[in-house]
Amino acid sequence: MLLNFIFLNKINDLERRFAEFDYIKKMGEFYKFWIKKNFSKSFDIQCDQMIVHERGFLRRLDVDSLLEDHRKRGEEIYHFYLSFFRPLWTDCIGCEGYYAENFGMVLWDEPDDKNDVSFLAEKNCTKVSHELAHELLRQEGNKQYMELVHDVWDKHLFASLSYEHYNSNFEKTTQDKALFSTINTSEF
């Protein structure tokens, strides 16, 4: 099974956002580990950029165009889009994300400081874990795949439950040393 992360990047932003794509490649390897640990599934990981340069295409870009891209690339592959736009509507509060069968997307926020790993971990990596959890629970046949994730997510947002933090060796660590942060999976 292949999990393909796709970073949407406007052509004029390529150089400026290079560090983020570098982080995304590391994050992909981390999620290979995280998914195996929490959902006992083995994925190969691929990370690509979708370079957006056509003004017309940019105007039309929405969840439907990403779903169409997913179909063209192959529906047997799990495509996960890290996007610069938010979906028109979402069930996932604080995530600006969307998921469907073998499909995920989140709004990927650009940090003010491109080397701000803490921002990438707490702001973006966490949202990715949220959408992955929905789809992986669904693939397991868990009928509570929506509620389970949102119950925990609400505790992160409103009840000061902290995220899970991992260092570059994918070991649990504290927030200040974290390279990756995820939803708390202990209640799944």
Q: Which is nearer to Zn ion, 121 or 183 (CB)?
A: 183
Residue nearest to Zn ion (CB): 92
* Residues 51-90 as x/- pattern, contact with Zn ion by CB under 5 A: ----------------------------------------
Q: Which is nearer to Zn ion, 179 or 183 (CB)?
A: 183
Q: Minimum Å distance from CB 167 to Zn ion?
A: 26
Q: Minimum Å distance from CB 149 to Zn ion?
A: 5
Q: Which is nearer to Zn ion, 22 or 147 (CB)?
A: 147
The answer to whether 6 contacts Zn ion (rule: CB under 5 A) is: no
The answer to whether 133 contacts Zn ion (rule: CB under 5 A) is: no
The answer to whether 92 contacts Zn ion (rule: CB under 5 A) is: yes
- Residues binding Zn ion: what is the number (CB under 5 A)? 1
- Residue 83 to residues 3, 47, 109, 110, 160, Cα–Cα distance (Å): 16, 13, 8, 10, 27
Taking the C-alpha atoms of residue 127 and residue 181, their distance in angstroms, rounded to an integer, is 9
Q: Minimum Å distance from CB 6 to Zn ion?
A: 19
Strands 164-166 and 180-182: antiparallel
Strands 97-100 and 44-52: unpaired
- Residue 93 to residues 22, 143, 150, 165, Cα–Cα distance (Å): 27, 20, 8, 21
- Give the closest residue to 79 by CA, choosing from 144, 116, 131, 151: 131
Q: Which is nearer to Zn ion, 92 or 132 (CB)?
A: 92
Phi, psi (5° rounding) for residue 90?
A: -150, 145
Q: Which is nearer to Zn ion, 24 or 92 (CB)?
A: 92
- Residue 81 to residues 40, 45, 121, 132, 152, Cα–Cα distance (Å): 23, 13, 17, 11, 23
Look up tokens 């105007």; give the residue: 59
Q: Minimum Å distance from CB 98 to Zn ion?
A: 9
List residues near Zn ion by CB under 5 A. Answer: 92
